[in-house]
Chain A
Amino acid sequence: MKVIHVLFRSSIGKKFTMAVSGFILFGFVIGHLSGNLQIFAHPDKINAYAHFIESLGPALWGIRLFLLTTLVVHVWVAAQLTIENKRARQKNYDKQVTLRATLASRYMRVSGVIVLAFIIYHLLHFTVRVTHGTEAYPTTILADGTKVRDVHSMIVLGFKSPYIAIFYLLSVGLLSWHLAHGLVSMFQSVGLRTRAWSHVLERITVVLSVSYFLGNALIVVAAMSGKVRIQNPSVVGFTCRDTCEICGLRNAEAIVENADAVEDNQS
Chain B
Amino acid sequence: MNVKLRVWRQKNSETEGSFENYEARDLNPNMSFLEMLDVVNEDLTNDGSEPIAFAHDCREGICGTCSCMIDGKPHGPETGVATCQTYMRSFKDGDTITVEPFKANAFPIVKDLVTDRKAFDKIQRSGGFVSVRTGAAPDANAIPIGKDIADLAMDAAACIGCGACVAACKNSSAMLFVSAKAGQLNLLPQGQPEKDTRVLNMVATMDEAGFGNCTNQYECSAACPKLISEEFISKLNRDYMSASVKKLFKAKAL
A97 to B212, CA, bound (A): 19
Known: A16-B241, A95-B71. A89 touches B219 (CB 8 A): no
A181 to B218, CA, bound (A): 12
- Which residues in window 11-51 of B have CB below 8 A to A? 19
Q: Which of B69, B98, B213, B238 contacts A85 (CB 8 A)?
A: B213
CB of A91 within 8 A of CB of B217, answer no
Q: Does B190 contact A (CB under 8 A)?
A: no
CB of B171 within 8 A of CB of A88, answer yes
Question: Which listed segment binds B: A30-38, A65-73, A184-192?
Answer: A184-192
CB of B248 within 8 A of CB of A92, answer no
CB of A195 within 8 A of CB of B231, answer yes
Chain B positions within 8 Å of A100 at CB level: 217-219, 221-222
A63 to B173, CA, bound (A): 36
Chain B positions within 8 Å of A108 at CB level: 215
Known: A93-B103, A101-B218. A191 touches B237 (CB 8 A): yes
Count A-B contacts at CB 8 Å: 140
Q: Does B123 contact A (CB under 8 A)?
A: no
CB of B235 within 8 A of CB of A191, answer yes
A91 to B170, CA, bound (A): 11
Q: How far is the CB of B47 from chain A (nearest CB, A)?
A: 25
CB of B234 within 8 A of CB of A192, answer yes
Q: How far is the CB of B200 from chain A (nearest CB, A)?
A: 9
Chain A positions within 8 Å of B206 at CB level: 11
Q: How far is the CB of B82 from chain A (nearest CB, A)?
A: 16
Per-position 1/0 for A182-210, Cβ under 8 A of B: 00110111111111001000000000000
Per-position 1/0 for A86-120, Cβ under 8 A of B: 01111111111111111001101000000000000
Per-position 1/0 for B177-219, Cβ under 8 A of A: 0000000000000000000000000011011001111111111
Q: Which of A11, A92, A97, A185 contacts B213 (CB 8 A)?
A: A11
Interface size on B, residues (CB 8 A): 51
Chain B positions within 8 Å of A97 at CB level: 71-73
User: Nearest B residue to A102 by beta-carbon distance?
Assistant: B217
CB of B237 within 8 A of CB of A93, answer no
Chain B positions within 8 Å of A178 at CB level: none
Per-position 1/0 for B220-241, Cβ under 8 A of A: 0111000001110111111111
Chain B positions within 8 Å of A195 at CB level: 229, 231
Chain A positions within 8 Å of B240 at CB level: 10, 12-13, 191
CB of A88 within 8 A of CB of B231, answer no
Looking at A11, A87, A99, the one whose CB has the most chain B CB atoms below 10 A away is A11
User: Nearest A residue to B222 by beta-carbon distance?
Assistant: A99
User: Nearest A residue to B210 by beta-carbon distance?
Assistant: A88
Q: Does B168 contact A (CB under 8 A)?
A: yes
Chain A positions within 8 Å of B168 at CB level: 99
Q: Does A259 contact B (CB under 8 A)?
A: no
CB of A93 within 8 A of CB of B69, answer yes
Q: Which of B211, B237, B244 contacts A15 (CB 8 A)?
A: B237
A235 to B222, CA, bound (A): 59
Chain A positions within 8 Å of B170 at CB level: 85, 89, 96, 101
CB of B217 within 8 A of CB of A95, answer no
Q: Does B100 contact A (CB under 8 A)?
A: yes
CB of B234 within 8 A of CB of A188, answer yes
Chain B positions within 8 Å of A192 at CB level: 234, 238
Chain B positions within 8 Å of A85 at CB level: 170-173, 212-213, 215
Q: Does A74 contact B (CB under 8 A)?
A: no
Q: Does A260 contact B (CB under 8 A)?
A: no
Known: A85-B213, A88-B212, A95-B98. A191 touches B238 (CB 8 A): yes
Q: Which of B71, B106, B204, B239 contacts A10 (CB 8 A)?
A: B204
Looking at B173, B215, B233, the one whose CB has the most chain A CB atoms below 10 A away is B215
A257 to B171, CA, bound (A): 64
Q: Can you list 20 A-B contacts with CB-CB less than 8 angstroms, sorted by A residue number?
A: A10-B203, A10-B244, A11-B175, A12-B237, A15-B237, A16-B241, A84-B171, A85-B171, A85-B173, A88-B104, A88-B211, A93-B69, A95-B71, A99-B168, A101-B217, A102-B217, A188-B233, A190-B241, A191-B235, A191-B238
3 tightest A-B contacts by CB?
Answer: A191-B238, A88-B212, A101-B217
